Each structure stands twice: as structure tokens, then as C-alpha cells.
Amino acid sequence: MTTIDETDRRILRALQKDAGQSLEALGEEIGLSRNACWRRIRALEDSGVIRGRVVLLEPAKLGLGLSVVMMVRTNAHAPDWLAQFSAATRSMPEITAVYRMTGDLDYMIRARVADMAGYDALYQRLIRKVSLSDVSASFVMEEIKETTQLPL
């Protein structure tokens, strides 16, 4: 774990809200010069604390209004199956997250598609690429909270 101080935390909180703000605006908010902010951000990037900067998009405005949570069970737990499953899910841009789980279900997949037909196409492509024992899906009716911000 990398050691960060309170100033780094303030910088990270501000960047999580708006990574596109200027160094001048960030420095004013944090109470540091533009150059001091830049040096700290660069150090946080170099240490791996900041792993990237992204733009958050509105899925519905891009025709991706259906959010899907897929729960997967498998009878295969061999390393070669996992490599095949990982490659398959990574190759499908509709899939936004994949988690290996504890408990009754083996994997949870989050995906964004246009509609039920889009989900069915995604499902059909996935089962052609990798053998799965059971797949169940739930469709998000309302997003109450979704954030990329970590609690600092």
C-alpha cells in the first residue's frame, strides 16, 4: 500500500469528482500551486494509486439503456477454463465488469445493452465462447446509486 497524506487525499477526492479540471482550478481548491499539484498527481500515477483517467458517459443517451447483472455458475474450475472465460468476457465491450464470487454463484457479470434483444445477443455470444452450467440475469429497473468514487 502506498502512503498518502491528507493533501493527496484532497487531490484524489477532487479528481474523482472531476478529473478534467485544470491544474489551476485544482490547485485553488486544494490550496497548492499548479506545479505542486502536478508533481503530486504524477507521483500518485507513478505509484499506481491513480491508474487512469476516464470520461463518464450517460448510457441511455448512447442507446445503452438496459443494465444487466448476470450470475454465472460453472462446473469447470480449471485454469484453462478460467483463461477462456476471462478472454471471452474481456473481448465483449457490453460487459463492463466481471467478478469471481464466493458462495453459491461463481461469477457476477455487469453489462450494458440497448434492450432485451441486445441482452439475448450478448448471452448467445457468451455461451458460444465458453461453456457455462447456469446463467441467470436480472435487469436493473432503477439505478439508485452508481459511482466510481472511492471513499477517501
What residue type is 10 in one-letter code? R
Q: Which residues of 75-92 are buried (b: 16+ CB within 10 A; e: fewer)?
A: eeeeeeeeeebeebbeee
Does the structure show a pLDDT above 90 at 147? yes
Does the structure show a pLDDT above 90 at 77? no
Does the structure show a pLDDT above 80 at 125? yes
pLDDT (0 to 100) of residue 2: 82
Q: What is the pTM of this model?
A: 0.88
Q: What is the percent of the chain with per-residue pLDDT over 90, rounded to a whole number? A: 96
pLDDT class for 117, splitting at 50, 70, 90? very high
| Mean pLDDT (the chain, rounded) | 96
Q: Looking at residues 132-144, what average pLDDT do you find?
A: 96
Distance separating alpha carbons of residues 131 and 51, to the nearest angstrom: 32
Q: Looking at residues 56-71, what average pLDDT do you find?
A: 97
Domains of the chain: 6-46 (1.10.10.10), 59-139 (3.30.70.920)
pLDDT (0 to 100) of residue 119: 98
pLDDT (0 to 100) of residue 41: 97
Does the structure show a pLDDT above 90 at 1? no
- Find, among 47, 48, 51, 37, the residue nearest to 8 by Cα: 37
pLDDT class for 38, splitting at 50, 70, 90? very high
